A and B are shown apart, each in its own frame.
Chain A
Amino acid sequence: MKQLVDLQQMFQAYLLEQSSLFETKIQQKNLQDAQERLAIYSNAYVLRLIESLSKDFPGVLSLLGDDDFEEVARQYVQHYPSRFRSIRWFGQGFSTFLMQHEWYVEVPVVGEMAQFEWLLAELFDAADSCTIMTLDDLTAIPAGNWATMTFAFIAAWRQIDLRWNTVDLWRVHEEENSLEPTPLENTAVYLMWRHEYQIQFRPMSLIEQQAFEHCVNGGDMASLCELLCQWFKEEEVPIQAINFLKTWIQQGLILR
């Protein structure tokens, strides 16, 4: 089997590192014939992966333009060969790669867009949640149980900090009159989730973020109310807590 092991490693090295050792391993009329035949594989290898990235990151493609996108995608292919069984996951490290890339480290909107788009991809096929809580379920809970009530959230939610008008840019990325990338005055925290197979996203206030994080980490209603006391008068706290809860339930974020 050693012969096959060596052969496969050489072929793969040709694709991944352009090693020319493999050329002698194939039948050929002449060197040009061998190179043409091998080029079919090496070109297809790179182009297939670049195409996969362009499908997962259309907003990044729109920001960079075709040529720059292809160049940076080619570099990503070279530096991070796939170890995934499905090409669907190949772009997993693309946002980090862009954030650290010498061309884009000073243009963080590019990496931020990639991060946003990868979360969209993750939500697209994240696990389903069959038993979503309704407001009727909530009202059916005996009042005596409310204080100790905790919540389980769906699997298909993510959170992202945005420092640029990334969401607006993404919304118009297919249009001809594109927006200029602009930094936001303050960092916006977006909640992203999938409800009934549709991906949703919206900004969250600082208070909602804290409340959401608290509940996601298993905090009960009583401790949520204590948390909210730092922003609201005592008599307003229960209604604020309920309002958050109602919003999350109506948006399909909490399990029954």
Chain B
Amino acid sequence: MNKTKNFPYLGFGLGLRPEHYQAIITTQPQVDWFEIITENYMIPGGKPLYYLDKIRENYPMVMHGVSLSLGSTDPLDQQYLAEFKQLIQRVQPAWVSDHLCWTGVDGYNVHDLLPLPYTMEVVRHVVSRIQQIQDYLGRQILIENVSSYLTYQDSDMSEWDFLNEIAQQADCFILLDINNIYVSGMNHQFDPLTYLNQIAVNRVKQFHLAGHSYLDHYIVDTHDQDVIPPVWELYAQACQRFGRISTMIERDDNIPPLEDLVTELQEARRISRMMELETAL
């Protein structure tokens, strides 16, 4: 594989959402880069691709998928991969990512990011699929930790060991979702800092930040609220451990005006700068 070892530091970004297309073009906001949802642009034509191209002229982009289904036991979807590659050629993203999860079997797609059992057998399965994907794309990918609400009986290792092991064996990188660590920590009663401190420093190339909601005894990763203070605190710890990592805020529902998200992004900038200064001292 002709690997792309160069993962530039992009700064602070936002998820590109249709609600903000026009505002981005008109106001050229202080956002360093945008992350697109891959599948939203695997379409024949129309406005989404028009805006994608227009905004790409002025901003770096990365692509973030939801349907690669890395952990599924179905064969890899070759048609999907071909269209994925075509879109990569169009967007020329700094990198591409998807989730460490599965989304369906037997040809179905439940449109959710379902967790995997944390075992070495599953590690080998996912590693083999990531290697096939990386070989096909000719580039290394990033894999993201998902929020989860259950643990399988079969699991015999921690989620962080599972993630590290896959990244190491597949020689891919990690998109570390700080909110997902917090959500899963609350749902499974582990200390998010333990998770954070076990992740291999040299594998992390991007952070996600997002809000969540409370549902009875659990926290659900809804991406429909502002980032909460404990997640900002965890982000500060992440900045300290991993250094300068490209960071973005994901908002998928209850979407506020663009300027509100740009303001929220300032908090990420502030924390990152503060932690850089602290480390320098």
Given contacts A4-B122, A12-B106, A25-B152, contact A86 B216 (CB under 8 A): no
Complex contact A12–B77 (CB within 8 A): no
Q: Which residues of chain A have C-beta atoms less than 8 A from B229's C-beta?
A: none
Question: Which residue, A12, A24, A88, has most C-beta atoms of chain B within 10 A?
Answer: A12
Question: Across the two chains, which residue of chain A brings its CB closest to B155?
Answer: A27
Q: In the complex, A4→B109 CA distance in Å?
A: 17
| Number of residues on chain B facing chain A (CB within 8 A) | 45
A-contacting residues, B43-75, CB 8 Å: 43-50, 67, 72-73
Q: Is A156 engaged at the interface, CB distance under 8 Å to the other chain?
A: yes
Q: Is A72 engaged at the interface, CB distance under 8 Å to the other chain?
A: no
Complex contact A36–B152 (CB within 8 A): no
- Interface SS of A by simple majority: helix
Comparing A56-64, A122-130, A212-220, A246-254, the segment that makes contact with chain B is A122-130
Q: Which residues of chain A have C-beta atoms less than 8 A from B149's C-beta?
A: 37, 40-41
Complex contact B44–A1 (CB within 8 A): no
Report which of B105, B111, B151 forms a contact with A87, defined as CB distance below 8 A.
Answer: B111
Q: Is A38 engaged at the interface, CB distance under 8 Å to the other chain?
A: yes
Given contacts A1-B125, A8-B102, A40-B218, contact A45 B45 (CB under 8 A): no
Q: In the complex, A91→B151 CA distance in Å?
A: 32
Interface contacts (Cβ under 8 Å), in number, total 125
Q: Which residues of chain A have C-beta atoms less than 8 A from B151's C-beta?
A: 26-27
Complex contact B105–A44 (CB within 8 A): no
Q: Which residues of chain A have C-beta atoms less than 8 A from B43's C-beta?
A: 88, 125
Comparing A77-85, A104-112, A164-172, A229-237, the segment that makes contact with chain B is A77-85
Q: Is B121 engaged at the interface, CB distance under 8 Å to the other chain?
A: yes
Q: Is A189 engaged at the interface, CB distance under 8 Å to the other chain?
A: no
Q: Which residues of chain B have C-beta atoms less than 8 A from A25's C-beta?
A: 152-154
Complex contact A26–B111 (CB within 8 A): no
Report which of A34, A36, A85 forms a contact with B218, defined as CB distance below 8 A.
Answer: A36
| Number of residues on chain A facing chain B (CB within 8 A) | 44
Q: Which residues of chain B have C-beta atoms less than 8 A from A27's C-beta?
A: 150-153, 155
Q: Is B42 engaged at the interface, CB distance under 8 Å to the other chain?
A: yes
Q: In the complex, A81→B151 CA distance in Å?
A: 25
Complex contact A86–B40 (CB within 8 A): yes
Residue numbers of A with Cβ under 8 A of B are 1, 3-5, 7-9, 11-12, 15-16, 24-27, 34, 36-38, 40-41, 44-45, 48-49, 81-88, 90, 123-128, 155-156, 194, 197
Residue numbers of B with Cβ under 8 A of A are 39-40, 42-50, 67, 72-73, 77, 80, 102, 104-112, 114, 116-117, 121-122, 125, 149-155, 187, 215-218, 220
6 cross-chain CB contacts under 8 A:
A38-B150, A40-B218, A48-B111, A125-B45, A126-B45, A126-B46
